[in-house]
Chain A
Amino acid sequence: MAFWYIKSGMDKEFTTVTIPTSLHKKIEEFIKGTEYRSVSSYAAKVLRDSLSKAEQPATEVFSKDEEEKVKERLKALGYID
């Protein structure tokens, strides 16, 4: 197992989470030549994205375009008018 850090630009305090060494190695390979300087910064970015998606409120799931399409379908199906 490898240790790595989650950090954000503003956070001053850090803690550790663990991931399998093999995954750590894969990420190291993957970020070569990208803007990510470390496995930690990449992991923090991915986790933040994932969390913000999970925390998305129900009222904002559909984009305007998607909402129109789903509404049209629900209308045709008789669920809404």
Chain B
Amino acid sequence: MNDRKVLVVGLDCAPPEIVFDRRDELPVLKGLLEKGLWGKLRSSDPPITIPAWMVMTTGADPGRLGLYGFRHRKGYSYDQMWIANSKAVHEKKLWDYIGEAGGTSTLVSVPPSYPPYPVAGNLISCFITPPGPGKETTYPAGLKAEIEERFGPYIFDVVFRTEDRDQILREIYAMTEKRFEVMDWLITAKPWNLFMFVEIGVDRVHHAFWKYMDHDHHLYEAGNRFENAIIDYYKFLDAKIGRLIEKAGADTAVLVVSDHGAKRMKGAFCVNEWLIDKGWLVVKERPSKPTSIDDLPIDWDKTRAWAWGGYYARVFLNVEGREPKGLIPAEDYEKVRDELLAEIEAIHGPAGEAWATKVIKPQEYYEDLEGEYPDLMVYFDDLYWRSAGTLGHGTMFLPENDTGPDDAVHAQYGIYILHDPKSGRTGRRDGDILDITPTVLDIMGLPVPERLKGRVLRP
């Protein structure tokens, strides 16, 4: 291992359309880009915060990680689930390689990092930290008190259960302000070879304010007072990043990355409503008001498929010998799945428009397949339509999210900018999220394990 230091600036959800296309408004990021290597960064499948940050920092894809989103079924039960957390990640992470080589890392809110886990260095947990006092949120445990006596309580996330956009915006700024106060101290107070943080505020500002910015959004109103909310936040962040980079030292390599991109949400598709219409899902009584799939009186003896919502849909089949009341004979699994897949691909939008829906069969898509994977993963209209798991809205197509204020969906391409003052890597070259771990290992003079599929990013 050499003596190089790497600062990884994680901007959750930052898309090329803002970071690159509006770089003239972001002098720090623009400066890094002009002196460095940069490009679009293809996210994982699914392009969701969990697992994407762990795909990036382990170099292993979601199949190998066994992580397909924020929640998973417990085995093949119908109603038992668990929330993804740091304990679910068993692959070696970037900072494990660094620690083994005698180096140290400072990690600030890289998802998932609750519960906090031991690292050679320091760690602050992320936004999945449950609310409430008395939680351990750092490694070592004593770091929490060191932070709180200087800066008061750390802020892990913002409250999103309100339509009050002013309040959301205030909270996003307060959270980011606090994180940078803490990091401005950490970056000089603790030794590190790798310093990595994830700013979740970028994701939150997108989801809450995209419709106010994007002229193509179906709910956009010209001249609205939040027109510049997103770009103003980026400018604020750009200046904060600039100050952090100054503190990191002139020889430090800076890598700005996002876990996935963002784009306008066209609406939410009530997939379970559709499954009922098509006879795949059978309920004892069809709900007349918005109802979660968890509260739906499903007739499992007659149901062949059901789905979970989110930015993408996870579809599960009710298979004989696998699910408690499995219906589809195991030998018909592929045939029935293909039948459903074809029907899903044929779904059209509310005006009869064609959709560019992508359907993934996990068993064929991933080389390794761990954990509780769904039978099908569905990106409705290439993710433009989120998947609503709820039903009973009186329509299959909702103009807005079914669960909260949300105007954006995830996009497959995020960004990276690598400014390494010592390597002279410059120019445009698109990359893959799997390339990040090999690239950082390479900068630090550490061998890249052969089993990692990504490549070192070079011009």
Contact = CB atoms under 8 A, between A and B. Distances in A.
Contacts of B71: 71, 74, 80
19 contacts: A56-B87, A58-B87, A59-B74, A60-B82, A62-B83, A69-B131, A69-B132, A70-B128, A73-B131, A74-B70, A74-B83, A75-B403, A76-B161, A76-B404, A79-B48, A79-B69, A80-B310, A80-B389, A81-B390
A74 B127 CA distance: 10
Given A62-B130, A69-B131, A70-B130, A78 B310 contact: yes
Contacts of B308: 80-81
Interface in A27-78: 56-62, 66-67, 69-78
A58 B85 contact: yes
Contacts of A69: 130-132
B315 interface: no
B406 A78 contact: yes
B160 A77 contact: yes
Interface of A: 56-62, 66-67, 69-81
A73 B157 contact: yes
Nearest to B82: A59
Interface string B307-320: 01111000000000
A74 B82 CA distance: 13
B401 interface: yes
Summarize A's interface: helix, strand, loop or mixed: helix
A67 to B, nearest CB: 6
B130 A72 contact: no
Interface in B110-131: 114-115, 128, 130-131
A57 B87 contact: yes
A80 B74 CA distance: 16
Contacts of A71: 71, 83
Contacts of B386: 78
A67 B311 CA distance: 20
Q: Which 9 A-B residue pairs are closest in the complex by CB-CB distance?
A: A81-B309, A81-B389, A58-B88, A58-B87, A66-B130, A76-B404, A76-B160, A59-B82, A78-B406
Interface of B: 48-49, 69-71, 74, 82-85, 87-88, 114-115, 128, 130-132, 157, 159-161, 204, 207, 292-293, 308-311, 386-390, 401-404, 406
B308 to A, nearest CB: 7
Residue of B130, B207, B293 with highest tally of chain A CB at under 10 A: B130
Contact of B387 (A57, A66, A73, A81): A81
Nearest to A77: B160
Contacts of B204: 77
Nearest to B89: A58
Contacts of B402: 81
Contacts of A70: 83, 128, 130
A72 B132 CA distance: 14
Given A59-B74, A61-B87, A77 B132 contact: no
A59 B82 CA distance: 5
B88 to A, nearest CB: 4
Contacts of B157: 73
Nearest to B389: A81
Nearest to B74: A59
Contact of A72 (B69, B87, B161): B161
A23 B390 CA distance: 56
